[in-house]
Amino acid sequence: MKVLVDTNVLFAFLDEKWDFVNIIKDAYMEVDFFVLQQSLDEIKANSTLADDLVFDWAKANRGVVSTRDFNLKKRLKKAGVQVISLKNNKLVL
């Protein structure tokens, strides 16, 4: 399964030392994580354009998105995209 990691999850991983990789791998046997270049650019530019790109990728590829962004999660779920998030170091689907 491909999991697209959103920018805010990367920040949580760094700032809060969340072990999201192992938490998600415990729930799903085969996982490939990746980040869009635009998400990395978003970090540099402090832009929200990457959210639209994450949404478009998830719809086009029927992928799973890992995000903590409330508005993006709501939008993805409404479109039928599976969202993985973490709360208190626990997996939230």
Between CA 74 and CA 81 the distance in angstroms is 10
pLDDT of residue 41: 80
| Of 72, 77, 80, residue with least CA distance to 9 | 72
pLDDT tens profile 61-83: 988 999 988 999 999 999 999 99
- Which tens digits make up the pLDDT trace of 16-37? 767 777 778 887 778 888 888 8
- Mean pLDDT over all residues of the chain? 83
- Residue with the bigger pLDDT between 31 and 11: it is 31
- Cα dihedral sign for 56, 23, 46, 77? positive
Domain 2-92, CATH number (from 3.40.630.10, 3.40.50.1010, 3.90.1300.10, 3.65.10.10): 3.40.50.1010
- How far is the C-alpha of 55 from the C-alpha of 26, rounded, in Å? 25
Sequence ranges of the domains in the chain: 2-92
